[in-house]
Structure 1
Amino acid sequence: MNDYYAQNDPGHFQSGHMLQNKTPVGSAHPPDYGDWGGDATDQQTDQYSRWDPRGWSLKKKIFLAAGVVVVIVAVVVGSVLGVRANRYPDYSKLNYTLKDNFSGSSFFDNFEYFTGADPTHGFVQYIDRAASTWLNLTSATDTSAVLKVDTTYSGSEAANGRQSVRVTSNNTYADGLFIFDVIHTPYGCGTWPALWLTDPNNWPEHGEIDVVEATNAGTFGTQSTLHTSKGCSMGVKRKETGTVDNEDCYYEANGYTGCGVKGTASTYGPEFNSQGGGVYAMELRDAGIRVWQWIRSEIPSDITSGSPDPSTWGKAFADFPSTECDIGSHFKNQSIIINISLCGDWAGASKYYTKQSSCPGNCKAFVRDNATSFDTAYWEFGGFKVYQAS
């Protein structure tokens, strides 16, 4: 009967008898499961090292492939981000030649006097050239030019704001190297002086560059700031010695503060003045905008000789590279502006007037009633020079 089933029903014989006894009768060797129907995959896997991919399951291979893809993507993204983070414009040397020289007794002939309402809401009356000359608020000699705040009128005579001056250069600039020789910077409670550039008729579309700006006591250093339309950011690699305040230059960002860089006490006010003043230099070019500052004894010799070369000056005080800001499209038709506002949006804010500078009472009341407190509220310039690349 066994012979019959072996001959006529081999499937039955194998599954019923042979697999129950595992080893056929009379066989001295274990069965070959590849031939007898056992788990061939497990047996083959055991034949390879765990590091040999021929023995890996499909799932393991898929996981490995996914891991390799992740690593490759991470390396590529890391490389791209690294390159992006280290982008920096080419500030290669430019050969500058003198274009404009604002100096001597004709200094103010280069400017128009602004007589409108203060755009920064200052408690100030900007007066024309005739009135300014009569009150001696602007004057110039062979050696310097002075622009200051009235120190005569008080009370009802200053009920609508203290008289001051704001002038705008007749010439405009798309680029250039600007050298500002500053002998004295204005300071005192309620003051808001600035030396800056903009296009007054197209603000903020054509941008604003605040080269020198401070408020009240003037003991906290200067601040250099850009104000622009949308699309100008300074969250990039920069080479500067100042302290970054904000990185978004859009004029409405961060409470209308723009993207500023702050200096130390020696860059403005009493400490700067005590050193005999010094020089502020600003370079406007497609690669970016940079501002430098030196006290009188440290002015580079190439500036005093009339052959300025920014490539030799080292790190700027404030660096605004073109990496994520198209300088040429954001800054156009720039005029040089000098003014001293009083109170207003910045100097009059309690955060700066009272808390930072410990100024007394209400800003407007102080400005109205204390004429003699503005004896130090004046600019004095040795002259301005504007160079352009040839």
Structure 2
Amino acid sequence: MHDFYADDQGRYQTAGHMSENGQLASAHPPAYGSWNGDASPYSKWDPRGWSLKNKIFLALGIIVVIVAIIVGSVLGVRANRYPNYSKLDYTLQDTFSGSSFFDNFEYFTGTDPANGFVQYISRANAQWLNLTYASSESAVLKVDTTYSGSQAASGRQSVRITSNNTYADGLFVFDILHTPYGCGTWPALWLTDPSNWPEHGEIDIVEAANGGTFGNQATLHTSDGCSMGVKRKETGSVQNKNCYYKENDYSGCGVTGTDSTYGPEFNSNGGGVYAMELRSAGIRVWQWARSNIPSDITSGSPDPSTWGTAFADFPNTDCSIGSHFKNQSIIANIDLCGDWAGADKYYKTQSDCPNTCKTFVRDNATSFTNAYWEFKSFKVYQSS
């Protein structure tokens, strides 16, 4: 007995025959291939014909692709994290200028924490030696240019001042007429809490060493857990990304500007303005030559949202700004030799300065005629 089935042309074909006991001896022919089972009855694209091994490989491949997509998306989102530097309305809180400039500061007279070959002196001695003085136009802080040899055997006399007021945040605008430079010098304009360093952080706004021909460096020094290996928007060149004070030979996470941002070139252009914004979203530093100072700074209504890309950008992405920076005082000083300016790789190799740093500083008083800060004003704004 035979069974019949209709092919796709509508014709009946023999499908098989019945055995004598009535059982079907051969069912419908395979969909593909021959009657003798030489090939699978399924297309190679039909999973029903795949082996278990191939199905497992497919499943693993799909899982790998899905994981790769998820990881890629997460990494992409993470790499593009960036804080919201929304506009803040700033009002003037403190002004340091004119003949009373130094009344706002204390004079540090202790041993130099940075191992400098320097004697920081009191206000009375600084005034007697004419190392600090102020007029209606500017305030000057400088290094002694008188004593040499045995008179400077313990280091050359200089000044370090710390503001009486402290700040948790704010916009700091520094109008600078002259930056110090010369072999052996290490000047800085910075913020920190001297009684709680490094736990409360350090923000170096203007800093350089020796000849001052390599541009300004803005740097953070913090306790552990502050990294700048994240998306940033800045025009300066990144030196290091880990801000932990012990890393990278205690150099912090610095950003360096062009030659014109410090030293002889900066001074010859009439100086300029540095601005530093300290807020929960991050820390940013801008710098302008005298001829390019934004009009809103000149008018006394600064608006950082209009200033464009900062010179240095330290976002809060992987660094809790509020946790790492507290109780900040403004500090200005001129150190001599020390951990930066006195290191051979900076004093000799980079700057080609003579003798050893300490010998030069001790014996060459008149070489420090350009080792002085001249400030037009410091202004501190706070958001309302």
State the TM-score, normalizing by the size of structure 1.
0.90
Indicate yes or no: 2:377 matched with 1:386: no
Matched residue, 2:91: 97
Matched residue, 2:15: none
CA contact (8 A) 1:187 1:218 kept: yes
Indicate yes or no: 2:358 matched with 1:364: yes
Aligned 1:1-390 pairs, distance under 5 A: 32=26, 43=37, 46-390=40-384
Larger Rg: 1
AA paired with 2:201? Answer: G
The alignment-based identity, stated in percent, is: 78
Deviation at 1:100, TM superposition (A): 0.3
Cα distance in structure 2, aligned partners of 1:311 and 1:333: 25
Deviation at 1:47, TM superposition (A): 1.5
SS of residue matched to 2:345: helix
Closer/same/farther in 2, CA of residues 44 and 318 from structure 1, 3 Å limit? farther
Matched residue, 1:22: none
Cα distance in structure 1, aligned partners of 2:332 and 2:170: 18
AA paired with 1:91? Answer: Y
Closer/same/farther in 2, CA of residues 43 and 94 from structure 1, 3 Å limit? farther
Closer/same/farther in 2, CA of residues 64 and 101 from structure 1, 3 Å limit? same
Q: If each structure's helix is expressed as a fraction of its own residues, which one has the higher value? A: 1
Deviation at 1:59, TM superposition (A): 1.0
Deviation at 1:311, TM superposition (A): 0.4
Cα distance in structure 1, aligned partners of 2:278 and 2:167: 9
AA paired with 1:176? Answer: G
CA contact (8 A) 1:204 1:227 kept: yes
SS of residue matched to 2:187: strand
Deviation at 1:272, TM superposition (A): 0.3
Deviation at 1:46, TM superposition (A): 1.5
CA contact (8 A) 1:45 1:56 kept: no
SS of residue matched to 2:244: coil
SS of residue matched to 1:283: strand
Could you tell me which runs of 5 or more consecutive residues in structure 2 were left unpaired when the two chains were aligned: 1-24, 30-35
Cα distance in structure 1, aligned partners of 2:256 and 2:94: 28
| 4+ runs deviating over 3 angstroms | 31-35, 42-45
- The superposition leaves residues 22-75 of structure 1 with CA deviations (integer Å, 9 ceiling, x where unpaired) of xxxxxxxxx74999xxxxxx9497121101111111111111011000000000
Cα distance in structure 2, aligned partners of 1:381 and 1:47: 90
AA paired with 1:94? Answer: L
Matched residue, 1:39: none
CA contact (8 A) 1:45 1:55 kept: no
SS of residue matched to 2:194: coil
CA contact (8 A) 1:44 1:55 kept: no
SS of residue matched to 2:196: coil
Cα distance in structure 2, aligned partners of 1:367 and 1:276: 27
Cα distance in structure 2, aligned partners of 1:256 and 1:34: 83
Could you tell me which runs of 5 or more consecutive residues in structure 1 were left unpaired when the two chains were aligned: 1-30, 36-41
SS of residue matched to 1:186: coil
Pairs aligned (count): 359
AA paired with 2:303? Answer: D
AA paired with 2:209? Answer: T
Closer/same/farther in 2, CA of residues 197 and 45 from structure 1, 3 Å limit? farther
AA paired with 2:172? Answer: F
- The superposition leaves residues 144-197 of structure 1 with CA deviations (integer Å, 9 ceiling, x where unpaired) of 000000000001100100000000000000000000000000000000000000
CA contact (8 A) 1:96 1:309 kept: yes
Cα distance in structure 2, aligned partners of 1:271 and 1:157: 33
Superposition RMSD in Å: 2.0
Deviation at 1:78, TM superposition (A): 0.2
SS of residue matched to 1:156: helix
SS of residue matched to 2:83: coil
State the TM-score, normalizing by the size of structure 2.
0.91
Cα distance in structure 2, aligned partners of 1:137 and 1:49: 93
- The superposition leaves residues 227-278 of structure 1 with CA deviations (integer Å, 9 ceiling, x where unpaired) of 0001000000000000000000000001101000011100000000000000
SS of residue matched to 2:248: helix
